[in-house]
Amino acid sequence: MEHQSLILYDAAYEAFIQDSDLPHSIYEIQGAEKVAVEFRSFSKTAGFTGLRCAYTVVPEDCMVFTDTKTPQPLKGFWNRRQTTRFNGVSYPVQCAAYAVYTDDGQAQVKGLIDYYLKNAAVIRQAFTSMGYQCTGGDNSPYIWIDAQTDSWTFFDMLLKEAGVVCTPGKGFGNCGEGFVRISAFNDYDRVLEAIDRIKQIKK
């Protein structure tokens, strides 16, 4: 409120949080309901990528400011935007989203999350054993690796020599330079194959 700023918080990967000390929502921070909007998605939680199903949390107390610095509730503006520009989620996708919250759906979501976190642990352990510093992979399906060179050089090496694709950190901005991101969203056997290929070129 002091800076009249609005925080847009993307909680798409919330289901991957395993550490009980980490918050699952920005609204666990006192006062966040006045300055933050939280986006929730089924894309990573339940494998809905491409189905376009999500929801947005806009608290009653969340304010935005006019040119004259007058506070106005965001909820009314957001509702106007939604009703004007969005026709809703298709019925089959709504049914799929409903199924996510059944007992079977929740069990399948947990199984999916555990599966990808297992992949992430394998990737992180492998790169650590090869002498790379890594972060992520424990509460996230992505592992960030210090490439020990510029990110595009590392990307080219993996692609051309090992046939493995990663994401150059430079694509996330200047602060990502020198790092690459590897995704755990793959079949376990293919993860093992990719790791084996990388180890072959790093001998």
Give the Cβ contact number of residue 43 at 10 Å: 15
Domains of the chain: 7-101 (3.40.640.10), 114-201 (3.90.1150.10)
Structure confidence by residue, pLDDT tens digits, 141-196: 999 999 999 999 999 999 999 999 999 999 999 999 999 999 999 999 999 999 99
Scored b (16 or more CB within 10 A) or e, 77-116 reads: eeeeeeeeeeeebeeeeeebbeebeeeeeeeebeebbeeb
Q: Is the pTM of this model over 0.75?
A: yes
Q: Helix (H) and strand (E) counts for the chain?
A: 5, 9
Q: What is the pLDDT of residues 92-113, one digit of tens each?
A: 999 999 999 999 999 999 999 9
Task: Specify the DSSP element, H or E, that contains 137.
Answer: none
